[in-house]
Structure 1
Amino acid sequence: MRFLFSFLLLIFSLALPAFAQSVRPALSKPYLVAPIVLDNQVIAQAWVFPREDKKNFAVEAKPLLEGLQSQLKDSLWINLKNRVRPEGVVTLQDLEGAGLSVFFDEARLELKVDLPLKHRRGNDLDLNYAELSTRPYMRPDAHSGYLNLRMLQSFQYGAGTTEEKLPLSSQVDLVENIKGFVFESSGEYLEGDEYPWKRHDTRIRHDDEERMIRYTLGDLTLNSRGFQVAPNLAGFSVVKEFSIQPYKTLRPLSNTEIVIKRPSFVEVYVNGFLYSQLRLAPGVFNIRDFPLAIGQNNVKVKIRDDFGQEELYDFSVLFENTLLGKGVQEFSYAVGLPWSESGADRAYDNTGAATTFFHRVGVTDQLTLGLNFQNYLSQSMTGLEVSGISRWGYLSFDGGYSSVSEDKQGFAEKLRYRTLDRMLGRDVPVVLTLEAENRDPDFVPVSVFDTGIVSYVRRYDSQLNFRFFQNWFFGVGSGTLEVPTGVNERQYRSNLVVPINNQTRVELSYSKTVGLNEDDRGLISFFWNEAQGKYSASAYYDSLQKTTNLTVNRNNMHKYDDVRASASLQASDGQESANLMAEYLAQPFSLRLEHFTTRQDSQDTNTTSLGLNTGIAWVGNHAAFTQPIYDSFVLLHSKMLPEGQELMINPNGEKGDAQLGPRHTTVLRDQSAYYKYTVNVDSTSLPIGYLLEKEYFNVQPSYRSGVLIELDLKKKIMVKGRVVDQKGQPIAYVAGDILNNQDQLVDNTFFTNKNGGFLIEGLEPGQYKIMTDRPYLGPLIFEVTEVPGNSLDLGNIVLKKEDSE
């Protein structure tokens, strides 16, 4: 009976694939490769060494630890890791000592693991993003970058002008990322201009991913708060950049903890609508980041386990997207020299540096405080911000104090109130917004250059929005503006949005301004989108400008080998115009043709333009041409791609997001920085005998970076034959390991049937050696060569006995 059990174990282990080609721990027979099952799911496959007692029943430790790491609490996982024996195994006694209950099912040849809830790790379940794999994400390489080039050549002709070739214009963007330090610069060229080349922003950036801080040296792009005016500066800035961790909860969003005791089906309802459905194993889950409406929200989580028993969790949360979560900080600090354009370059004001900053803190989930400051020469401004939400609405206050000189100082205040979309657990069809702003005549925001902005003294505004009849919206509003000199201004407005169906809507708006002049303006707009999104159209009429416009679009459905086009007509008082545009999208470039015609007083003026948009991207020593890149990218390369072969990247119907082939390198462009993606390489079109070792790759690019994916494409040959002894008799039921010419393990599933026959599914060309489990038999040495059909028959192979036998 024991012999039969051992024989079944041997047959089962030989029938399983060589999982990751792991090396078998050095323990004696019997042994087999068995699945490890937790919550009815296979979490790993490992070598198992069945024994009668728990002290000697051993399991290969590495795959078991990898499978349990996401399920077991850290302290228990470390405890189990410390119990690993020198042979690389743990025993059933070790597993039970770490809090696991383990049972070996001899009928199914499975190792079943039971993990109590108290020993399970708590999990964050982000409904906005579902992790597709526990495999690590590929990060950017040490050196990557891209160069974008856009060129436009226009020709003008017609009765109203002299025929001529207009100046060639172009724009260049350069990005170079070296170990996370990003150099970026751009410029434009205009043929025949006094200064043909003009430089745009040039800077170096570096992100601290753990702290979500972005450091910038050079030309700065800054945000502002309160009464601040964002200046043009060249200097140094430190900014809290939430986009560095896009999956982290930083706003006071949903945060609900549930306990699941058995495998269950979970449904999440937000404000009465089913938002998500999930199948979850037992554990503790913190469900977060589902979409909320402004105000009070009703969230219900329904759990139905595998026995049909239901449990309901009911939550209620307040939400406002301008607030910060408790303890979360948002800030921007910058200092630099103001600049203005001067010829082909920029003139930097070295008479004094400008300083600007703001800092906001979430005191609670319902209250956020902020402070801001700006200074330049004798000008300074200090501001205070308070924002809060309650069941009665959202209220914010901004205050500012400016000083230009000893005799010119002033205050400013701005107050904003908005009722909530949901109050007391119910949808509110009416939302009221009120704003009031007051500025002293001597209040002047800090401005590094005289912008000529006329400041107003007081501003009041109100808006009332109604929602009814299945997403019909109607709004009315009014406002007044009091200025230091001249006539004050009053404005009245209304708008109506009528959705005819899911693809069509009509908007009507009216505004009346009363000031120095009295202007009445009506606007009628029409929007239509085809259900598949391939075609769209819009039209509007403006009564004040007496302008009518009609636009029809043909949208591209694929990122390459496709065309997008548009045609528009516009008519106004005494003038008509038409614009036609078509752009062909290829992977390495796009070609644009545009024609613009204007008719006035029976004379036509025509302008035809030809454009080329292209670029080159590189990662390490690999590069490829591409359409211009605006963010990050993935570069895919395969040196073994067969001639004329094509592989789709992220296939979607007839096309994908990119295509590899006939070139050996391609670019998957515009991957948003810090987001997680799964890149799918479709290998179904490969000819017989070619094998792509891996088809799915997890990537996570950083700010303006490139990730390199080297596709391991191999040519595999099926090998078959028959093993016989010196007398020509078949040698049956021989198992063995296949080694390459460097004595590295290639396959451990070699096995002969009762007739001595064997079949090896795929080997690369080269020399191989098979070491059998029969000590008295010598090695079986053979060579695999490329053959038509990728199938090689070795015929009868004589396996001799060792001379020492």
Structure 2
Amino acid sequence: MCLFALLPGLSLAQAGADYVIDMPASIDEQVIGDLTVGIADNALVFVQRTSWNDIAVEHFQGEFLRRLESASSGDRISMAEFARAGLDMEFDPRRLLVILRPTQEQRVVKRLNLAPGMPDLTNVDRGRHPLTAYVNLRAVEDYVDSDLEPSGRQPLTLSLDGGVRAFGADGTALEWSAFYDEEDERRWKRGETRLVHDDVERAIRYSAGDIFYQSAEFQGAPSLLGFSVERQFSALQPFRVVTSTGQQTFTITRPSRVEVYVNDVLQSIQRLSPGRYNVSDFAFTDGLNDVRVVVEDDAGRRQTFNYSLFLDAILLDEGISEFSVNAGYQRADDFSETIEYDHDAPAWSGYYRQGITPDLTLGANYQGDQTLDVGGVEAVLGTRTGIFSGSFNASQAEEHGSGRAGTLRWNYEFDLFGTRRPQELSLASIYSSENFQSLGQDEPSATFRWQNLIRLSSQLGDTAYGSITARQGVAHSSRGADETGVGLSISKRFGRLTTSIRAEYIDGEAEETDLFLSVSLPLGSSQTWRSSYTDTDNRLRTEWSTMPRNVVGDLSGSIGVETADQGSRLLGDVTYRGNRFIARARHDYLQEGLFEDNTGQFTRVQFETGIATAEGKLAMGRPVSNAFAIVDRHESLSRTRILVNETSDGPVAIADGFGPALVPGLESYRIQNLLWRAEAPPVGYDMGDVHERIFPAYRGGFSYQAGSAASIIAMGRLLGADDAPVSLIAGTLHAADGRTFEPLSTFTNRKGRFVLQGLEPGDYEARFNTEPLSTIHFSVSSDASGYIELGNFLVMEKDDA
């Protein structure tokens, strides 16, 4: 926030305001800038036109601004003029915030910017601190009471992860992790560690160490100890809509709980040991729909993988390129929890894609090691009759010989019925020879020689959506049976109730007909009831859940019951998000069969916290996920809490007697806002600046202070002859003790009152433009805080007679 100030050429008496002040303004709980406003009796009187113009053009339609401009004149816009234009605006004295509530017609139509370049970072903090760091701790304790396996307390597991960023926004980040297992002979083990340097303007990420990297469709991506150079638009320029083709493999480095969803319906929960898995390793992927795999390791870390045989064809704009170049040593194939690399097995992998024209993208890829070479080409062509894409790869392995793989895809949108609800038709044909092998595979593993797929999907009215899919798989005789299948999926909303049905017929090694049903109902803004059924094993699951909100004091969780042919299961979990930690608990009760005695109870208790430092400040809070900010409070605010990024649900973080606030969930390379307020500041306390616009770097941090020594507001009264008020006179305040001090402007109102904001202890003199010039002196004591009353000052004015 800024200072009470005199606006050039503006009379407070004419404006009807007691004070003029710069104040943050917000739309949809997001601060959009500062407005200079007039305040009287805790209500808005006017908005200074220049400050309005500075922020309005980015958020309001041009026609609305032109109407407002023509309806008002002068250097201020009154609240009556805003009201006549239809804009709802109010002053929140509790948060010292101007709240704007534009209608949809008044808002500017925002368009995605696909052109190269950075967003406007004017007046945005990119991170100036030379060294920032954080470390997260997660502790997991399991308890088992089962008839089928050892019961009691299970070994304690801990995980540590953190990041260190040196040299500010243009520097380099170190990210690392480590694990502790109470049961293992070697209890502490290192996790992945790497150095990362980002060239944001060119969207290039350089990394060294345990590297993870992107790959083309038929490429593998085993973990490497080495170097990587990649253009990552999604990570470094998230304001641009450019995505990469995903691979269909994933690696589990620690024992993990794996949940599998098909079209958002939970299909199975499995416990998997460390290893590299391909989508085709799971029976459920022989179906016809999209798959989501959620992996939670024994240290509580979660990852999500999404797969579909209908991969999106990416058309890059003309002149835009994507690439990935990687080299190093492959991780040992024993998949032990200890990270080890085979230094006799160097490997390399890379691809390059280029937008040749707006309608044509070409690419090539190559990877290999001492015994394997894999190379290929790809193309995407956009036409009036749809998007065509294709790829071809060849492998040459020392042990298994040559192999081939390729795809042809076509995607077409059309409006058959002229309803502006287009239909989408997708065709795909995927080929893989028996000996085709990609990097990281010990041997060829493709089940099918050919997979041919077709899917037609369409919006069905305003509240329904449907799709039909058919698939044919021609298997390698040594690895499986041929398959054909057809599937139908329909979802429809009845008011707030959403229903989904998916039916699927597959003829392979055996004939199977599967039916999936799902019903969900939102209960308020954050609660949901959901029930699903699959006839494969007569599995019925009903669950109530609350959505987590990233605020202090949030309590979320779920409780559900599941029955199936194999038995029954009662599931429950709860998560509490405190200011300094997250506490989680989950309990599963299992009963084999409906009336058998074999039962099992599994309980997991998890505690998470994080510590971060920036500019010498140390803060404890919830775990940091990417970037963070610390908000400390000045000693003059030691008796009040500082609430950071407060919404209607509560603040994201709080600075209190325990220490500064830690905001843990900032996203890198996106402009975000930090806003803070004192919960109960001293009367008349000047908070100064209460918001910042920031652009966090990867693993970077920020540090700010709420309040300052210059927080005192002084008020006095200027009197002339016969104690008459000296009204509507400008004045300037200066330091009288030799300190460096930016002069402040002030103004007496109709009663001779003047206000001086943002003062700290010291001696001052104020010069008022009376005739002759009048000077007053006063001091602010070292123990002063908030509001102080200076009293009356008598000045001599020129006698007009």
Verify same fold: TM over 0.5: yes
**CA shift at 1:208, angstroms?**
0.6
Taking the aligned partners of 1:171 and 1:531, their CA distance within structure 2 comes to: 36
- 1:604-683 matches, within 5 Å, as 604-640=599-635, 642-683=637-678
**CA shift at 1:551, angstroms?**
1.8
**CA shift at 1:376, angstroms?**
0.7
Range with bigger deviation, 422-431 or 185-194: 422-431
Q: What residue number does 2:699 align with?
A: 704
- 1:264-303 matches, within 5 Å, as none
**CA shift at 1:555, angstroms?**
2.6
Deviations 1:172-218 (A, max 9, x none): 11111112311111122211123322322110000011211000001
Give the 3 Å change call, closer, same or farther, for CA 798–154 of structure 1 in structure 2.
same
Q: What residue number does 2:529 align with?
A: 537
Q: What residue number does 2:688 align with?
A: 693
Deviations 1:254-276 (A, max 9, x none): xxxxxxxxxxxxxxxxxxxxxxx
Taking structure 2 as the reference length, the TM-score comes to: 0.71
**CA shift at 1:469, angstroms?**
3.4
Give the 3 Å change call, closer, same or farther, for CA 401–773 of structure 1 in structure 2.
same
Give the 3 Å change call, closer, same or farther, for CA 743–798 of structure 1 in structure 2.
farther
One-letter code aligned to 1:347:
E
Give the 3 Å change call, closer, same or farther, for CA 762–666 of structure 1 in structure 2.
closer
One-letter code aligned to 2:156:
L
Q: Secondary structure at the match of 1:389?
A: strand
Taking the aligned partners of 1:338 and 1:735, their CA distance within structure 2 comes to: 75
Give the 3 Å change call, closer, same or farther, for CA 249–466 of structure 1 in structure 2.
closer
Give the 3 Å change call, closer, same or farther, for CA 626–407 of structure 1 in structure 2.
closer
Give the 3 Å change call, closer, same or farther, for CA 718–343 of structure 1 in structure 2.
same
Deviations 1:142-195 (A, max 9, x none): 221211111111222356666521111121111111123111111222111233
Deviations 1:204-255 (A, max 9, x none): 0000112110000011111211311112211101000113122246589xxx
Give the 3 Å change call, closer, same or farther, for CA 564–783 of structure 1 in structure 2.
same
1:173 matches 2:170 = no
Q: Select which of 315, 325, 339 maps to 1:323.
A: 315
Alignment RMSD: 4.1
Taking the aligned partners of 1:388 and 1:380, their CA distance within structure 2 comes to: 28
Range with bigger deviation, 465-474 or 558-567: 465-474
1:766 matches 2:762 = yes
Taking the aligned partners of 2:762 and 2:703, their CA distance within structure 1 comes to: 28
Q: What residue number does 1:43 align with?
A: 50
Contact 2:771 2:797 in 1 (8 A): no
Deviations 1:541-584 (A, max 9, x none): 22223322222112334522021121122222242221221121
One-letter code aligned to 1:791:
I
Q: Secondary structure at the match of 1:43?
A: helix
Range with bigger deviation, 233-242 or 473-482: 473-482
1:473 matches 2:470 = no
Contact 2:633 2:706 in 1 (8 A): yes
Taking the aligned partners of 1:754 and 1:543, their CA distance within structure 2 comes to: 81
Q: What residue number does 1:127 align with?
A: 111
Taking the aligned partners of 1:630 and 1:462, their CA distance within structure 2 comes to: 39
Q: What residue number does 2:125 align with?
A: 138
- 1:201-216 matches, within 5 Å, as 201-216=192-207
Give the 3 Å change call, closer, same or farther, for CA 723–457 of structure 1 in structure 2.
same
Taking the aligned partners of 1:10 and 1:753, their CA distance within structure 2 comes to: 12
Taking the aligned partners of 1:379 and 1:240, their CA distance within structure 2 comes to: 25
Taking the aligned partners of 1:756 and 1:567, their CA distance within structure 2 comes to: 66
Taking the aligned partners of 1:405 and 1:163, their CA distance within structure 2 comes to: 49
Q: What residue number does 2:514 align with?
A: 521
- 1:375-774 matches, within 5 Å, as 375-405=368-398, 408-421=401-414, 427=420, 429-442=422-435, 444-450=436-442, 453-470=445-462, 471-485=464-478, 488-501=481-494, 503-532=496-525, 534-600=526-592, 601-640=596-635, 642-683=637-678, 685-713=680-708, 714-722=710-718, 736-740=731-735, 741-742=737-738, 744-750=740-746, 760=756, 763-771=759-767
Unaligned runs of 5+ in 1: 1-7, 21-32, 46-63, 71-106, 111-123, 253-319
**Larger Rg over CA atoms:** 1
- 1:5-404 matches, within 5 Å, as 42-43=49-50, 108=74, 126-128=110-112, 135-140=122-127, 141-157=129-145, 163-179=151-167, 180-242=171-233, 243-248=235-240, 322-340=314-332, 345-404=338-397
One-letter code aligned to 2:124:
Y
The alignment covers a number of residue pairs equal to 641
One-letter code aligned to 1:136:
N
**CA shift at 1:448, angstroms?**
3.5
Deviations 1:612-645 (A, max 9, x none): 1111122121121111121112221222352442
Taking the aligned partners of 1:34 and 1:194, their CA distance within structure 2 comes to: 67
Range with bigger deviation, 789-798 or 550-559: 789-798
Taking the aligned partners of 2:14 and 2:765, their CA distance within structure 1 comes to: 18
Contact 1:250 1:328 in 2 (8 A): no
One-letter code aligned to 1:146:
Y
Taking the aligned partners of 1:631 and 1:754, their CA distance within structure 2 comes to: 53
Give the 3 Å change call, closer, same or farther, for CA 504–643 of structure 1 in structure 2.
same
Taking the aligned partners of 2:578 and 2:750, their CA distance within structure 1 comes to: 57
Deviations 1:723-764 (A, max 9, x none): 679x99998987542112235455543566899875546643
Give the 3 Å change call, closer, same or farther, for CA 352–782 of structure 1 in structure 2.
same
Q: Secondary structure at the match of 2:582?
A: strand
Q: Secondary structure at the match of 1:353?
A: strand
Taking the aligned partners of 1:461 and 1:42, their CA distance within structure 2 comes to: 61
Contact 1:195 1:343 in 2 (8 A): no
**CA shift at 1:779, angstroms?**
4.9
Give the 3 Å change call, closer, same or farther, for CA 682–499 of structure 1 in structure 2.
farther
Contact 1:421 1:427 in 2 (8 A): no
Q: Secondary structure at the match of 2:140?
A: strand
Q: Secondary structure at the match of 1:201?
A: coil
Give the 3 Å change call, closer, same or farther, for CA 789–184 of structure 1 in structure 2.
closer
**CA shift at 1:447, angstroms?**
2.7
Q: Secondary structure at the match of 2:343?
A: coil
Q: What residue number does 1:285 align with?
A: none
The percent identity for this pair of structures is 21
Taking the aligned partners of 1:685 and 1:631, their CA distance within structure 2 comes to: 31
Taking structure 1 as the reference length, the TM-score comes to: 0.71
Q: Select which of 787, 790, 796 maps to 1:790.
A: 787
Give the 3 Å change call, closer, same or farther, for CA 132–761 of structure 1 in structure 2.
farther
Contact 1:503 1:530 in 2 (8 A): no
Contact 2:563 2:569 in 1 (8 A): yes
Q: What residue number does 1:27 align with?
A: none
Give the 3 Å change call, closer, same or farther, for CA 641–598 of structure 1 in structure 2.
farther
One-letter code aligned to 1:793:
L
Taking the aligned partners of 2:21 and 2:785, their CA distance within structure 1 comes to: 29
Q: Secondary structure at the match of 1:419?
A: strand
**CA shift at 1:537, angstroms?**
2.4
Unaligned runs of 5+ in 2: 1-7, 23-35, 39-46, 59-72, 77-107, 245-311
Q: What residue number does 2:268 align with?
A: none
